[in-house]
Amino acid sequence: MELDPTLLSRFQFAFTMSFHFLFPAFTIGLASWLAVLKLLWVKTERAEYRTLYKFWIKIFAVAFGIGVVTGIVMTYQFGTNWSGLSRAGGGILGPLLGYEVAAAFFLEAGFLGIMLFGWDKVPQMVHLGATIAVAVGTAISAFWILSANSFLHTPAGFEVVDGVLEPTDWLAIVFSPSFPIRFLHTVTAAYLTTAFVIIGVSAWLLLRDRAVPESRRALSMGMWLIIVLTPLQIFFGDQSGLEIGAHQPVKLAAIEAHWETGSDVPLILFAWPDQSGEKNDFVLEIPHLGSLILTHSWDGSVQGLKDFPAADRPPVAIVFWTFRIMVGLGFLMLGAALLGLWLRAVGRLYDSRWFHRFMVVMLPSGFIAVIAGWLTTEIGRQPWVVQGILRTADAMSPVGAGSVLLSLVLFVLIYAILLGSAVYYIVKLVRVGPEAAEADREETFKTPARPFSLPDASFGSRE
């Protein structure tokens, strides 16, 4: 069987990007969580805030480190696999990614050491400032990365000169039509991902009667966060759908598996899209609701896939199902938030063991949802790398399929080791628990404090 280098390069980028995205989706929210904990400690000096900070800073260090390492790989692939994109769009994408490095990565790197090691070594206000600086840095990083990515979806502020995208309006480039809602949607998703991890870990500790005051505090804070953010995220998702309908109608048609243009269209809950037959099998739908959701009008018109050439349509089945995974998890999150609110009202939030088990199960839901959403967004843009301007096949580097396959296999093996090591170490940190933070505090002036130390007798040493 002849290998397709373009398809393999797409697989490689999708794999490395999905793997990398797991970590920023967690550390963006976790950095802000740590800033809140530090601020509350400075204001109240309550022991549980200090304990929680010293517990979660270790987990942050692991996730942040893996995120940085895997993020560097992304930029190299623009040269190794996608030199066509670099030639055509480097004058726009290069500065945007450069701003991300200069404004965000340097800010994070400059204050990360103080944040990790400075609790007992610098004044508390300096340490608070460093923690806030790292949190701000993660948000700035998300801003520039999403600005560059949004330009690929809804390019603006440029002209094409001899096949090269030349900038004409940098404000239009940075704030391309899809950027504002995509930034809000993605950052909110990151905060929700972090919140469900914190809630899940706290629930697990409560099920074992471990670090009860700290776990109750973290559980309560996390539940307040998701009761606010989950409805907000659903609203941002709705607004994102309207934006996609306005600027990328073929993507919206693929997401909803609508083949025919029409008004008063149904909402297709489940189906098996048949792209070659241009139809759906095994359809379960709700009449009228599609137009209402997609256009905010009971009889609004929605374009169908048949309005677009077959060569310009994305893989329908993939985006149809990844979108439903994301939406389904979003409403499951909303259900969890409402359950938690009810349990808080009846005074059972901290002792409802069935709810704690449910929240442990929900711990990875944010990661699954963000990856499903990213796949929907990026695969839904195909076959374009710059929507309507540059096709993915034309953005490829002149590299053989065998070389791409070899590098893909190596990435899978190396990243499997990285992910396995990170998960193993984070699980080990959780098993040790927040109690280890106080052990660290007692030994502060005996041995150097390290973010990866595990002071617990069950593991034999602080390694």
Is the pLDDT at 124 greater than 80? The verdict is yes
pLDDT score at 78: 82
Residue pLDDT, tens place only, 54-65? 999 999 999 988
Q: Tell me how far apart the alpha carbons of residues 128 and 136 are, in angstroms, rounded to a whole number.
A: 12
Q: Looking at residues 296-307, what average pLDDT do you find?
A: 88
Residue 133 has pLDDT above 90, yes or no: yes
> Over the stretch 155-183, which tens digit does the pLDDT of each residue have?
999 999 988 999 999 999 999 999 999 99
Contact status, residue 222 vs residue 195, Cβ threshold 8 Å = yes
Give the pLDDT confidence of 344-359 residue by residue, as tens digits.
999 999 999 999 999 9
Per cent of the chain over pLDDT 70 is: 94
Over residues 32-52, mean pLDDT: 93
The pLDDT assigned to 441 comes to 53
For residue range 134-143, what is the model confidence (pLDDT) as tens digits? Answer: 999 999 989 9
- Are 226 and 195 in contact by the 8 Å Cβ rule? The answer is yes
When pLDDT is averaged across residues 260-267 and rounded to a whole number, the result is: 88
Element containing residue 372 per DSSP (H, E): helix 365-379
Decide which of 457 and 299 is more confident. Answer: 299
| Strand, helix or coil for residue 462 | coil
pLDDT of residue 6: 87
The stretch 220-235 carries a mean pLDDT of 96
Taking only the tens place, the pLDDT of each residue in 384-433 is: 999 999 999 999 988 888 888 998 999 999 989 988 998 999 999 999 88
DSSP character string of 309-343: -GGG---HHHHHHHHHHHHHHHHHHHHHHHHHHHH
pLDDT beyond 70 at 446 = no
Query: Residue 152's Cα: distance from chain center in Å?
Result: 18
Residue 443 pLDDT > 90, yes or no?
A: no
**Please, is 366 exposed, middle or buried when counting C-beta atoms within 10 Å of its C-beta (0-12, 13-18, 19+)?**
buried
